[in-house]
Chains A and B, each alone.
Chain A
Amino acid sequence: QVQLVQSGAEVKKPGASVKISCETSGYIFTSYAIHWVRQAPGQGLEWMGWFNGGNGNTKASQRFQDKVSITRDTSANTVYLELNSLSAEDTAVYYCARSERQSASYHDFWGQGTLVTVSS
C-alpha cells in the first residue's frame, strides 16, 4: 500500500537549518510527484514546492524559494525538504503529499507531518 513516512519532530535555534525527510513506498516513484505543504500553528495549508519523480525537477513557490531546498536520495525513494535561516515564523507542521505529475491532479496520500519548532 502507498505510504509516505516522515522523519520525527525537530527543535532548532534561530538561524539554524533543518532537513526533514519523506520516505515513500508502495508505488512507482517516477510516476508521481511529492509536494511539501506547511501549516503554521492555528493557520491554514500553504503549498511550498514539489519534486517531480519523473525527471527530478523541483519548483518552490515564490514565497519560499529563498527558504527551501527540495532534494531526493537517489538510492531510496525519499524526498527531503531543507529549510535554511530558521526563524520563529518557520515553526510549523510540514507535510509531504503525493500527486500525479500533471495538471488536474491532487494529493491522494499524505505523510503524517513533521513538527519543526524554532526557539532560542
Chain B
Amino acid sequence: DIQMTQSPSSLSASVGDRVTISCRASQYIATYLNWYQQRPGKVPRLLIYTASSLQSGVPSRFSGSGSGTDFTLTISSLQPEDFATYYCQQSYTTPTWTFGQGTKVEIK
C-alpha cells in the first residue's frame, strides 16, 4: 500500500500567517492527491483535488502544488476559521486510497 506522510504533525500559527503543510507519498502518485479540512466535531471537507484544483466554494487563500511524491498545501493568510486538522489523501491506487496522518493547525 502507498503510505502518505504529512509534516509537521501540528503547528501553531497566528491569524494572517502564511502556512505550509507537506505531504509525501511512499511511491509515485502523479497528481492524484487531495486535501481535506476537518474542524473539531465536524465532517471532513474537500479543499483541493488532483494536487492543485480548488474545490468549488473553497476560499482562494487555499492552494495546492506538487506532483510525483511531494505535495504542499498552502494557506496564504490564515483566518480564524482555518484552525483545523488537514489531511492529504492519494487516489492513485484505485480503489485502495490512503490518507496522511493529519496536520493540526492551532492558534499561537
Contacts and interface: CB of A to CB of B under 8 A. Distances in A.
Contact of A46 (B85, B96, B99): B99
Interface residues of B, number: 29
A4 to B, nearest CB: 10
Contacts of A108: 46, 55
Interface stretch (A7-15, A17-25, A76-84, A95-103): A95-103
Contact of B94 (A49, A103, A111): A103
B95 interface: yes
Interface in B69-100: 85, 87, 89, 91-100
B91 A103 contact: yes
Contacts of B55: 108
Interface string A37-77: 10000001111011010000001011000000000000000
A106 B43 contact: no
B102 A45 contact: yes
Contacts of B31: 104
Contacts of A111: 43
Given A62-B1, A103-B92, A44 B87 contact: yes
A34 B11 CA distance: 32
B62 interface: no
Given A45-B87, A103-B91, A95 B98 contact: no
B102 A59 contact: no
